[in-house]
Structure 1
């Protein structure tokens, strides 16, 4: 049976009101009583009822974090950065994995609101979300991370890869590549559309075409990258270089290339997006567009704290950088 305030009060020889004041740090009790109550509470293993307390304070000191795919190392690192920042504010994080499914995302969203979280951080999955739209209309403190939703007036923090993608295309063309393919995200995601548009713009700047056959759509998961690579490599004239706009799709593409016995950096150039630690352990290490994941997570939490406090945080767009390694046939930059 759970230890109650009454149990602590009885053992300490004080009223329940004195226990509440002593444990909450409020005035109205002496230092001696406060120390005695704390000692008794620890001895009995008392834990405050956070739900009951939230009904009085309207705060639960928790935030909900809904991510689309925690297997993806980008989102794992993002979750770590958010939790670290939340800890500094005295907040706990409830993490849910939507598995890139809109229905699962909305179910978790309803659950978070039922648990009275003080605010929400989420990377929305593809598809319409009535629950997300309703939460925004109700004024629930919320910040979107990495992906924006068109027509939603919710603050967003995400990365801008346009300049780094342009540098990547320059790097590939300077190495002699002209037939360059891209594995992008779903058509319905702003992230996928923006990165594909940046790639097209960079190709045009180098007077290169991007035929439809060299554009393959995935779903930000490894198996879709493998299928996309299969289609590209089966072409009568396969590409000499492939750019995957997500680390898991890059992984899937690499798996298919390895299965066919292709030598990365010699037979075909490969580059990715994001920069998980295992990119550096590949043979050869992978050239990639790196996002400031830690900064993104910390900033998202700061923005949410501002929203919880009644403020109106502004959206932020952070720069990416190109990290050149040997997977495109060129030694890494010093």
Structure 2
């Protein structure tokens, strides 16, 4: 039994059956009931492709992230999928990695599935904000389907973004450390993505506004791997700092491990702040002060906006900035 059989038995077109199973309002109640009676009598379960026949929608959203193993990404995907299902949308996931070629290939793959919209999670998709060619493939994709970026920003028609206010959060953290007498604040980062650059700019602005110099030796780039970052910090013999602001909780935990090796007390001698308020922030000892980037809210906004766009709403904002929150724990005396 397939959609063609249901249409034949019901005496309606395939498009009408598709509209019925998709809950379209363009079908009379009498016709809808007739088709539903046949579906029930025949025990028919519509598949995703049958649902899309005769409609300009597959009720399917493509979701991309660089790596589902990352806790931040996993949380985002979970919230997106749950919210989309509440609106009757299915999801197709692709993990693209970080190279531009791989990203482009995954976008093409998802678009070939006739998705209704594409959601890209992670600041890596925004490139470094300087070279437009890094994001040209996204602008091309937006000509085929609406594109929604989470925790990134690209300006363009049919492109919508929701991102954390990383600049303000970084400014607030750095200013709080300065108010507590910290003079050498180490900025730990692992990339130069849109989000990382916003955090660095907030850090630098807070230092400048307080009359502090922005020192290159206090900007420390390393891979976001706890032991690797710890060992790299230990390898720099002249690395002097009295506080750490890390763009990821994993990097902040690396700083705590560095402090333990060095016999430095936290927070008495060293204050440490992480980012994303991940499970790592409460798994370490002492528990980590961390910035909550409110990924749940970003995902909720993205889903709500996607549904509005797909329903033909032309008043959807192309950029929504979500305020962050500093969750104070034991690695600072905030």
* TM-score > 0.5, shorter chain as reference: yes
Structure 1 residue aligned with 2:131: none
Q: 1:297 to 1:324 in 2, by over 3 A?
A: same
User: Which residue in the other structure is 2:289 paired with?
Assistant: 287
Q: TM-score, normalised by structure 2?
A: 0.81
Checking the alignment, whether the CA contact within 8 Å between 1:110 and 1:131 is kept in structure 2 is: no
**If the length of structure 1 is used for normalisation, what is the TM-score?**
0.81
Q: Which residue of 2 aligns with 1:146?
A: 151
Q: How does 1:39-50 map to 2 (within 5 A)?
A: 39-41=41-43, 46-50=44-48
* CA positional deviation for 1:229: 6.8
Structure 1 counterpart of 2:67: 69
Number of the residue aligned with 2:200 = 196
- Provide the residue aligned with 1:322 in structure 2: 326
Pair 1:67–1:256, CA change in 2 (3 A): farther
Residues paired across the two proteins, number: 316
Structure having greater relative contact order (Cα 8 Å, sep ≥ 6):
1
Work out whether 1:167 is the aligned partner of 2:172: yes
Please point out which of 85, 88, 111 is paired with 1:87: 85
User: Which of 126, 131, 139 matches 2:137?
Assistant: 131
Is the CA contact (8 Å cut-off) linking 1:119 and 1:304 kept in structure 2? yes
Q: Distance in 1 between matches of 2:182 and 2:105?
A: 46
Gaps of 5+ in 1: none
Distance 1:323 1:6 in 2: 56
Shift of 1:308: 1.9
Distance 2:168 2:138 in 1: 31
Aligned partners of 2:165 and 2:322 also within 8 Å:
yes
CA contact (8 A) 1:218 1:228 kept: no
Cα distance 1:213–1:306, how it changes in 2: closer, same or farther (>3 A)? same
Distance 1:310 1:30 in 2: 24
RMSD: 3.1
Matches of residues 171-250 of structure 1 in structure 2 within 5 Å?
171-187=176-192, 189-218=193-222, 221-222=224-225, 226-227=228-229, 230-231=232-233, 234-250=236-252
Deviation for aligned residue 1:33: 7.7
Question: How many Å apart are 1:251 and its aligned residue?
Answer: 4.0
Aligned to 2:107: 109
Matched, 1:57 2:62: no
- Whole-angstrom CA distance in 1 between matches of 2:253 and 2:198: 21
Query: Cα deviation per residue 1:150-198 (whole Å; 9 max; x = unaligned)?
Result: x5442211111333323322332333321111013423x2212111011
Aligned mates of 1:109, 1:101 — CA distance in 2 = 13
